[in-house]
Amino acid sequence: MSIARLAAQRWKGNELAELKEILERMKQDSLTDFVDADVRFHLKLCDMAKNSVLRNMLSGIRNLLHTWIKCVIEKAGETAFSYLDHLAIYEAVARRDPDGAAKAMPLHMDDASRRLIAALKEAEHMS
């Protein structure tokens, strides 16, 4: 089951406000701030979904995630596409729309994966 789906169903209290704050940090000019917020966004979704197993896994590979996201953003030269993906996930979670959240997350992950593979292939050809 999708973490985003579970987050839409299970969030409580101020968790949504905390996710919104992380999303707002993604608007910062700094690449480092954006990448840090991107990783924190996914970790917060795990918290909201009450999925400690995935949260622990993501925490364990946090540095790798950071590197991958930075690679994708640097190659793209901008962050708008990623911000909009995260915004769609946030909006579905905020509406408590599990189906919408479950649709928005794979769109984001597929796009991020495609961009990462392209960036890695380009780096491979340059070396």
For 56-105, the pLDDT digits (tens) are: 998 999 999 999 999 999 988 899 999 999 999 999 999 999 999 999 99
Question: What is residue 26's DSSP assignment?
Answer: T
Question: What is residue 12's DSSP assignment?
Answer: -
**What type of residue is 63?**
N
Residues 1-59 have pLDDT tens digits of 689 999 999 999 999 999 999 999 999 878 999 999 999 999 999 999 999 999 999 89
Domain ranges, residue 50: 3-126
- Whole-angstrom distance, CA of residue 1 vs CA of residue 106: 12
CATH number at 57 reads 1.20.120.530
- Whole-angstrom distance, CA of residue 80 vs CA of residue 23: 12
Q: How many CB atoms lie within 10 A of CB 66?
A: 15
How many domains are there within the chain? 1
**What type of residue is 74?**
E
- Whole-angstrom distance, CA of residue 118 vs CA of residue 33: 23
